[in-house]
DNA sequence: TCCCAGGTAGATC
DNA sequence: GATCTACATGGG
């Protein structure tokens, strides 16, 4: 992979084991919009809001080739209005580009051959490294909601309390809102911005019964009792227990926060889909979620979180 | 109108 | 402890 800066954009060429659409659209993040018109199957562009920044990014697929049996392909990425320093210090880690996914995929297929075809079809999924607070709030929102609705609540909260950012340049001017000259977006609110909201404010963002849960999470983070760094010295099991002291955070939400924002790749969130697919593959009967989690963690070890992502896609394709 | 959604808290047994 | 249900909101 080569990294080049052309004076305004950072261009990554020959990126392996990466697919922007697969990575963003697999349910691990909710603050993005596709900005191209979808007419070119080898091209896509997105606007992503994360970590107090806005990124316009596009991807061009390159020719397929084969590396060590598992089919892979390369792509070129353009991070618009982004210099090398911002790429190196933030987006590189955000997209998990310093991790060897070829090795990870091999290990998972060794443990679970059933996943080989799904990995072949989705070879570019990466686990993002997202910011703690916005991941915590987003996954509290996610309970009992579908992805488009989760995205809507995240956007409503951002518009209500987040900082406005004016976007002077855009990657692709194809969606309606981007056509406006005064195009702007709102960042996900900071803890301080959220603290100014009342429970009714949060309800007005269509958060429903999750509003008091969000209030509790905000208060606990604002007080300093909970922070990304407070988990540094804890084991994953201890960190999960601590996260679950927040109202509205159960096993599943806690595991998502561990996996997607605290670098605990051994975490294995079990939702309705994961329960169904694991029962189909291994248990062949109704099985407790906690048991499924323990089984997967023993089976996949430090790769459990990655395996979970492929299993999720497998489940959504195979079942339903 | 009914049912479900990448769940969880609180009640009840 | 294990099970049952209400919870807001929107879409099929």
pLDDT at res. A170: 55
SS3 label, residue A180: coil
pLDDT at res. A69: 54
Bases of strand B lying below 7 A from some protein CB: 5-10
pLDDT at res. A64: 60
Determine the distance between A248 (CA) and B12 (C1') in angstroms.
21
Give the residue among A260, A238, A195, A185 at the shortest CA–CA distance from A33.
A185
Look at phi and psi of residue A12 and say left if phi exceeds 0, alpha if psi is from -120 to 50, else beta: beta
For residue A209, say whether its CB is under 7 Å from any atom of strand B.
Answer: yes
For residue A274, say whether its CB is under 7 Å from any atom of strand B.
Answer: yes
Scanning every strand, the nucleotide with its C1' closest to A203's CA turns out to be C8
What residue spans define the domains of chain A?
A: 2-121, 132-261, 272-318
Assigned token pair, A115 = 């996943």
Determine the distance between A288 (CA) and C7 (C1') in angstroms.
23
**E-assigned strand segments in A169-272:** 184-186
pLDDT at res. A247: 98
Bases of strand C lying below 7 A from some protein CB: 3, 7-11
Fold of the domain spanning A132-261:
Endonuclease III; domain 1 (1.10.340)
DSSP A90: I
Determine the distance between A206 (CA) and C11 (C1') in angstroms.
15
Residue carrying structure tokens 């001017």: A173
Count of alpha carbons within 13 angstroms of residue A159, beta-carbon side:
10
| Pairwise CA distance, residues A9 & A284, whole Å | 51
pLDDT at res. A78: 96
Q: Mind listing the pLDDT tens digit of every residue in chain A (320 residues)?
A: 999 999 999 999 999 999 999 999 999 999 999 989 889 999 999 999 999 999 999 999 996 655 555 555 899 999 999 999 999 999 999 999 999 999 999 999 999 999 999 899 899 999 999 999 999 999 999 999 999 999 999 999 999 999 999 986 555 555 555 555 668 899 999 999 999 999 999 999 999 999 999 999 999 999 999 999 999 999 999 999 999 999 999 999 999 999 999 999 999 999 999 999 999 999 999 999 999 999 999 999 999 999 999 999 888 877 76
What is the Cα A307 distance to its own chain's centre?
15
* A67 neighbors A76 (Cβ within 8 angstroms): no
Rg over CA atoms, chain A: 20
> The whole model's pTM is what?
0.95
pLDDT at res. A314: 87
Note the CATH number of domain A272-318.
1.10.1670.10
For residue A146, say whether its CB is under 7 Å from any atom of strand C.
Answer: yes
For residue A293, say whether its CB is under 7 Å from any atom of strand B.
Answer: no
Determine the distance between A113 (CA) and C2 (C1') in angstroms.
34
pLDDT at res. A181: 60
Determine the distance between A243 (CA) and C8 (C1') in angstroms.
24
pLDDT at res. A175: 54
Antiparallel, parallel or unpaired: β A32-34 and A43-50:
antiparallel
Q: Which of residues 115-154 of A touch strand B (CB under 7 A)?
A: 142-147
* Dihedral over alpha carbons A36, A317, A278, A136 (to 10 degrees): 20
Residue A137 burial (CB count, 10 A): 26
pLDDT at res. A73: 84
Note the CATH number of domain A2-121.
3.30.310.260
Determine the distance between A30 (CA) and B4 (C1') in angstroms.
21
| Pairwise CA distance, residues A268 & A308, whole Å | 6
């Amino acid at each position: 992979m080569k990294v080049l800066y052309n004076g305004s954009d950072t261009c990554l060429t020959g990126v392996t084991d990466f697919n922007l659409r697969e990575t963003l659209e697999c349910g691990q993040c909710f603050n993005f919009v596709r900005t191209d018109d979808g007419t070119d199957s080898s091209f896509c562009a997105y606007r992503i809001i994360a970590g107090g920044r806005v990124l316009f990014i596009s991807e061009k697929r390159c020719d397929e080739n084969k590396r060590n049996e598992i089919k892979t392909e390369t792509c070129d990425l353009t991070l618009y209005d982004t210099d090398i320093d911002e790429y190196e210090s933030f987006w590189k880690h955000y997209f998990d580009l310093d991790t060897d996914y070829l090795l990870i995929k091999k290990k998972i297929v060794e443990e679970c051959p059933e996943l080989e075809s799904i990995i072949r079809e989705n070879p570019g999924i990466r686990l993002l490294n997202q910011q703690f607070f916005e991941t915590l709030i987003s996954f509290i929102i996610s309970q009992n909601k579908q992805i488009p609705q989760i995205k809507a609540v995240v956007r409503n909260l951002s518009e209500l309390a987040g900082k406005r950012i004016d976007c002077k340049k855009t990657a692709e001017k194809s969606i309606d809102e981007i056509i406006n000259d005064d195009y702007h977006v709102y960042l996900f609110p900071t803890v301080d911005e959220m603290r100014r909201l009342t429970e009714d404010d949060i309800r007005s963002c269509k958060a429903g019964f999750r509003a008091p849960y969000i209030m509790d999470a905000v208060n606990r983070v604002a007080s300093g009792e909970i922070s990304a760094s407070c988990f540094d010295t804890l084991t994953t099991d201890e960190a999960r227990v601590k996260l679950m002291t927040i109202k509205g955070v159960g096993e599943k939400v806690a595991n998502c926060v561990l996996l997607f924002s605290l670098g605990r790749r051994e975490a294995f969130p079990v939702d309705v889909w994961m329960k169904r697919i694991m029962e189909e593959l291994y248990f062949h009967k109704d099985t407790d979620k906690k048991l499924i989690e323990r089984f997967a963690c023993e089976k996949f070890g430090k790769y459990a979180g990655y395996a979970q992502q492929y299993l999720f896609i497998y489940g959504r394709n195979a079942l339903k």
